[in-house]
Structure 1
Amino acid sequence: MPQVDIRKRLISVEEIFHEGGPRANKPLRRVVGLAVIKNPFAGRYVEEITPFMEDLRPLGLDLARDMVKALGGDRSIVEGYGKGIIVGAAGELEHGALWHAPGGYAMREVLGDTKAIVPSSKKVGGLGARLDVPVTHVNASYVRSHFDSIEVGLPDGPRADEMLVALVMTTGARIHNRAGGLKASEIKGEDGLR
């Protein structure tokens, strides 16, 4: 399979201090890692595409490591994560499915012993398309305070023959979360759900 041809990358950190209520003692930090890459399957149908997942693995690891560095280098502060991909218009949705394993397993490897599945979203879109990437707690998907989404995208990508891959991480619950449910302090850590 071809090597991954990266046109551009972006690591971005957002800090949220409040959502109209009282100021948080510590801001919620949300980091996004994006890469715009060439889609080797654009414009044609290819039956066997799964080997490209192995080619994507180093990119996932690099993005995840750089995201942790952007948060100060301490992986233990990451409490939420998610992944997503926008496939350019000359590709197909199935090309986006190739990011599931390399993106998810990369974050799980870099963050250590996480239990929860990494939620994801994908779509086919044009230049400037945006994608809402879902976020859940890294160890228990039912922790309601960490249900979130982060909008990702770049104004000049993906081009028709490209894909925009995304990883997201957060350092905690939504600011002012008060919708009840399982608390992070109540996680049993047995199944990635509770």
Structure 2
Amino acid sequence: MQEIASHSTAERIALRKLVTYRDVVVTEAGVRPVHPARRASVAAVVRNPWAGREPLADLSEEQGRVAPVLAGILTDHLIAALGGADEIEAFGKAAIVGTAGEIEHAGALIHTPYFGNLVREFLRGESIICFSDARAGAGEDLIVPMWHKTHAATRSHYQTISARVGDAPRADEIVVIAAASTGPRPHPRIGDRTTDRAVTAQNLEDVLS
């Protein structure tokens, strides 16, 4: 596992803790998947850089200062947890802002090039990164969606992972999460958007009537 961020880096972005979660499905419906995927999420708990600011305050300066550092730390730990960037096939991102913050504060750390572009680059992806965000108290679960890092229309890789930090976010904190999987869901078999037949209300008239 990668070393935790240096003390100076942690201080610079007010990083309080990192939490890594990993899982692997050994059997599904009693059958071992052909390609058992390993999934992981890494959550960083940081002080909300906009805590106490008036509503509608400009967010850009802190975005450029905090978000790139988070992208580097989270992807370093995610890559280490899953055995390398080339092992990763699907990815996602999320943020939970504490109750004293705006939902826009969560988005400000994950929905800009300072975070998303770097996560995509470090994990060697091309797709837009799917996401979730919320405002909540400490210990709240957040479901992080993921899809294929280079072919977002590949349904086999549509999956989720739960992320939770028991004592975060505090009211003046934000939890920022990066998640990834080394493969598809167990036993994927629902087709693909590139091979599906065209479906419209008109050609399903007998089903809908």
Structure 1: 5+ residue stretches without partners: 184-194
For residues 43 and 129 of structure 1, what CA distance do their matches in structure 2 show? 22
State the SS of the aligned residue for 1:129: coil
Match for residue 85 of structure 1 among 95, 117, 121: 95
* In 2: Cα distance, 1:154 partner to 1:70 partner: 18
Partner Cα separation in structure 1 for residue 189 and residue 35 of structure 2:
17
Which aligned segments of 4 or more residues in structure 1 are displaced greater than 4 angstroms? none
Q: For 1:126 and 1:43, locate their aligned partners in 2 and report how far apart those are by CA, in whole Å.
A: 17
> Structure 1 pair 21/103, CA: closer, same or farther in 2 (3 Å)?
farther
Query: Matches of 1:51 and 1:136 in 2, distance apart?
Result: 30
Q: Is the 8 A contact 1:96 1:123 kept in 2?
A: yes
Give the whole-Å Cα distance in 2 for the aligned partners of 1:127 and 1:13.
Answer: 21
Q: Which runs of 5+ in 2 are unaligned?
A: 1-10, 195-209
Identity of aligned residues (%): 34
User: For the residues of structure 1 that align with 2:24 and 2:122, how far apart are their CA atoms?
Assistant: 22
What's the TM-score once normalised by structure 1's chain length?
Answer: 0.86
Is 2:148 the counterpart of 1:142? no
Partner of 1:16: 25
| Maintained 8 Å contact 1:103/1:167 | no
Q: Match for 2:122: what amino acid?
A: V
TM superposition shift of 1:106: 2.5
Structure 1 position 40 matched with structure 2 position 40? no
- Which residue identity lines up with residue 136 of structure 2 in the other structure? G
Distance (whole Å) between structure 1 residues aligned to residue 93 and residue 140 of structure 2: 16
Structure-2-length-normalised TM-score: 0.80
Residues 9-58 of structure 1 deviation map (CA, whole Å, 9 limit, x = unaligned): 01222111222141124421001110111002224325111222222211
User: Corresponding residue for 2:127?
Assistant: 116
1:103, distance to aligned residue in structure 2 (A): 3.4
